[in-house]
Structure 1
């Protein structure tokens, strides 16, 4: 058994155990393997262990990986998620190649993606990013802007509004983590009342996964616990 396969088993077991402790069905929670800066060989190991959903932060790096794997017919098929800040001049690459965008934060970008999404492709699944901690250095919209943006995005035919995502300020205390995630869960529940198709709350990484699951996350983004420390010498395009 490879180290990555072992890590995936441990992460999956931790997700299941945490969900059961909270009275949740583990099947409600999806695992997104954050593969940014990781080699195709490492991703191949994860695929061999059964992982199918991968998250990339850098557009060009992600597109190169998608091209590498697209000739191989995996069952179930691979799902590629763009989870980094997206510049408008890179939007076409995301629209044409990825299945999900987690970081939608402005209507102009949504309109570009809608126009650029190929007609032969299924609509691009999008999550609106919330700046839940109010950090000036973080992407995402303030919570009070959510209703207006969500309503506009829901009208775009080549996009599919699936829910919300957040990257809160780093916090080591579990109760403080939980309080922030519960605010996100409240926003998500409000969104679902207006848009029943919204089914995804992308919250939680290696250091705060337990609190995210307790609050109601349906998708956790795990990189370090699966692949090990990241190589930040990789391209940042």
Structure 2
């Protein structure tokens, strides 16, 4: 099944221009057409994303990404349910062996309610119950997800503020429990992200070959 990213925005590890080093954000279909080195549609319809550790980043970080995001924001109460379903594999990972693979993000803030990581072969997540909570509560969700293995990450958020994360790999499935957003999130605009976001800072000495590659073989987003 072809993964359609034409209605999504891709944050790339490429600079806006030679004089503007900030990471370029571009429509998914345009990214495939213009920059197949970092966003490539494979023969089976899957999408391959490449994020070298040393590249262009946002103004607030020294970390690179090749990550899709929704173009339309939503509030937690705008629909009874919000779903992000992503099937993917990591074929290469940065030297820190840690990368964000899925997020429920918040517009205009660097502290999202939920980040899901591939972390040294495990699926972990960080959750913020309260808006602008300084430190997320971190948990391990699923162990034993090696490089090359196909895995699912499913995020479900209800209008009540209840959030559930599910990870599946090689016939094993684990889900979070007891994740509840408080009412400080009620009026904030949210959006799902996914792909790869390196959790390592680059420097002048970062090797060019260091980085992460993922293949997304299925992607479904819904609000209703």
- The normalised TM-score by structure 2 is 0.30
Task: With a CA cutoff of 8 Å and minimum separation of 6, indicate the structure with the bigger relative contact order.
Answer: 2
- The normalised TM-score by structure 1 is 0.29
